[in-house]
């Protein structure tokens, strides 16, 4: 099974130094970090899952940012389910979740992969994910020192951590179901609408 690389874009492939050299993040990305990412994918056989905010929104193109990243030079393979989501399946409806670590945990809980690494210049990851997290800087993004750590991380499994994510998802789903039952099966937003109507 291929290891998974959770990929941020701004601060990893799109950098301050890249801008200074004329790579504005729209027509081109910082070529050094992109080449390092491509080599990493080739060497480790990892699949990319986009955890960046680039993943969302129709303004990123009809095929999503995956097609854009391809056009901008990313050659590594994407996972079939190639992006995280900003809502938690365990909550049953569109409760927004802005913590990137939770979005990653939810993705892992729903897929069989147990070897993964996270590369991001922001650090809103869960405590148990920190050993799998490689922090870059917006100035120059993905560097050789990061690649070395990522190669090491992608080479071994972390089944205990992933099982913990899965258990949390099951617990969350059970809690959401219990709350639903307590409400007599009435959606939260319907109750809210009824309260508004009653006023």
For residue 11, state whether it binds Mg ion (rule: CB under 5 A).
Answer: yes
Q: For Mg ion, which residue of 3, 4, 6, 8 counts as binding (CB under 5 A)?
A: 8
Residue 91 Cβ vs Mg ion, minimum distance, rounded to whole Å: 25
Q: Give every CB contact of residue 157 below 8 A, 6+ residues apart in sequence.
A: 114, 115
Nearest to Mg ion of 130, 179 (CB atom): 130
For residue 140, state whether it binds Mg ion (rule: CB under 5 A).
Answer: no
For residue 33, state whether it binds Mg ion (rule: CB under 5 A).
Answer: no
For residue 121, state whether it binds Mg ion (rule: CB under 5 A).
Answer: yes
- What ranges in 2-137 are assigned the alpha helix state H? 16-20, 31-44, 65-71, 100-109
- The two tokens of residue 175 are 């809690």
Residue written as token pair 């927004």: 96
**Site size for Mg ion (CB under 5 A):** 4
C-alpha to C-alpha distances, 94 to 62, 72, 88, 100, 195, nearest whole angstrom: 22, 32, 7, 16, 20
Q: Which stretch binds Mg ion (CB under 5 A): 41-49, 63-71, 83-91, 113-121?
A: 113-121
Q: Give every CB contact of residue 81 below 8 A, 6+ residues apart in sequence.
A: 49, 107, 110, 111
Residue 106 Cβ vs Mg ion, minimum distance, rounded to whole Å: 19
Q: How many CB atoms lie within 10 A of CB 24?
A: 11
For residue 10, state whether it binds Mg ion (rule: CB under 5 A).
Answer: yes
Q: Which stretch binds Mg ion (CB under 5 A): 10-18, 90-98, 141-149, 172-180?
A: 10-18
Nearest to Mg ion of 141, 172 (CB atom): 141
C-alpha to C-alpha distances, 47 to 102, 112, 162, nearest whole angstrom: 19, 13, 17
Nearest to Mg ion of 30, 121 (CB atom): 121
The residues binding Mg ion (CB under 5 A) are 8, 10-11, 121
């Amino acid at each position: 099974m291929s290891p998974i690389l959770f990929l941020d874009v701004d601060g990893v492939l799109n950098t301050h130094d890249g801008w200074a050299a004329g790579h504005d993040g729209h027509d081109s990305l910082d070529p050094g970090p992109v080449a390092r990412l491509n080599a990493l994918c080739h060497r480790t056989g990892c699949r990319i899952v986009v955890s960046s905010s680039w993943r969302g929104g129709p303004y990123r193109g009809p095929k999503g940012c995956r097609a854009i990243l391809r056009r901008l030079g990313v050659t590594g393979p994407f996972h079939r389910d190639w992006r995280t989501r900003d809502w938690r399946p365990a909550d049953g409806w569109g409760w927004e979740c802005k913590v990137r670590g939770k979005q990653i945990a939810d993705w892992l809980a729903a897929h069989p992969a147990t070897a993964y690494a996270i590369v991001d210049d922001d650090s809103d990851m869960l405590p148990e994910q920190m050993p799998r997290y490689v922090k870059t800087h917006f100035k120059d993004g993905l560097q050789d020192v990061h690649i070395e750590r990522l190669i090491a991380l992608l080479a071994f499994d972390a089944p205990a951590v992933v099982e913990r994510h899965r258990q949390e998802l099951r617990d969350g789903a059970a809690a959401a179901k219990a709350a639903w039952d307590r409400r007599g099966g009435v959606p939260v937003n319907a109750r809210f609408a009824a309260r508004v109507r009653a006023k």
